[in-house]
């Protein structure tokens, strides 16, 4: 029994000595790893779907105060045709962004027409787009003089939020 007690005391003494010399460097390394990961996109993902139509105007995507949205990917599915039902309208996704109160930037993305249903369109775009404000709407280029009577798009925006310092 006395030998076991001495062995336990010896193991505790060795752990105490090792802890004295190695605890601070190990904790500093751990803190460094935690600080380095704060800007990883997976920490604040944002995924939103916006339905944009002719009558809805531009829809605002809510970006939390103190954050900037970095858009990584945009996809769209929609349908468009003119008053006679002809698929003569080429729809587009229109994004309006601002950063730090600067000038508005307008991005227009043109989808592909479906080979199966002529009035349907789709598109996907990997991108890097920064936004403190973001609105999503529709646009179109008609190949005839007729304006679209139906223009309905479901736009999916994927990205992440990064904290911004508002006290430059």
pLDDT of residue 39: 55
pLDDT of residue 131: 95
- Tokens 């090792």 locate to 18
User: Other CB atoms closer than 10 Å to residue 37's CB: what's the count?
Assistant: 10
Asked whether the beta carbons of 75 and 156 are under 8 A apart, the reply is: yes
- Tokens 């004295």 locate to 20
44 burial (CB, 10 Å; 0-12 / 13-18 / 19+) is middle
pLDDT of residue 29: 58
Asked whether the beta carbons of 76 and 154 are under 8 A apart, the reply is: yes
Nearest CA to 155 out of 118, 107, 117, 103 is that of 107
Asked whether the beta carbons of 99 and 130 are under 8 A apart, the reply is: yes
Q: Chunked in runs of 10, what are the mean pLDDT values of the chain (168 residues)?
A: 69 64 58 53 82 86 92 92 69 91 90 87 94 91 64 92 74
For residues 72 and 126, what is the distance between their CA atoms, to the nearest angstrom? 6
pLDDT of residue 158: 95
Asked whether the beta carbons of 157 and 130 are under 8 A apart, the reply is: no
pLDDT of residue 36: 47
pLDDT of residue 8: 63
Length of the chain: 168
**What is the β-pairing status of strands 133-142 and 89-98?**
antiparallel
Nearest CA to 153 out of 74, 91, 99 is that of 91
């Amino acid at each position: 029994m006395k030998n076991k007690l001495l062995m336990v005391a010896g193991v505790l003494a060795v752990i105490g000595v090792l802890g004295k010399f190695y605890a601070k460097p190990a904790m500093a390394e751990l803190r460094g790893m935690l600080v380095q990961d704060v800007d990883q996109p997976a920490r604040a993902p944002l995924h939103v779907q916006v339905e944009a139509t002719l009558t809805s105007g531009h829809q605002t995507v809510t970006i939390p105060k103190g954050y900037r949205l970095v858009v990584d990917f945009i996809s769209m599915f929609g349908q468009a045709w003119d008053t006679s039902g002809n698929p003569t309208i080429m729809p587009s996704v229109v994004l309006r962004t601002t950063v730090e109160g600067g000038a508005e930037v307008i991005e227009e993305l043109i989808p592909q027409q479906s080979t199966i249903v002529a009035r349907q369109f789709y598109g996907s775009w990997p991108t890097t787009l920064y936004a403190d404000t973001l609105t999503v709407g529709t646009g179109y280029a008609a190949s005839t003089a007729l304006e679209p009577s139906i223009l309905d798009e479901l736009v999916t925006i994927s990205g992440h939020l990064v904290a911004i310092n508002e006290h430059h």
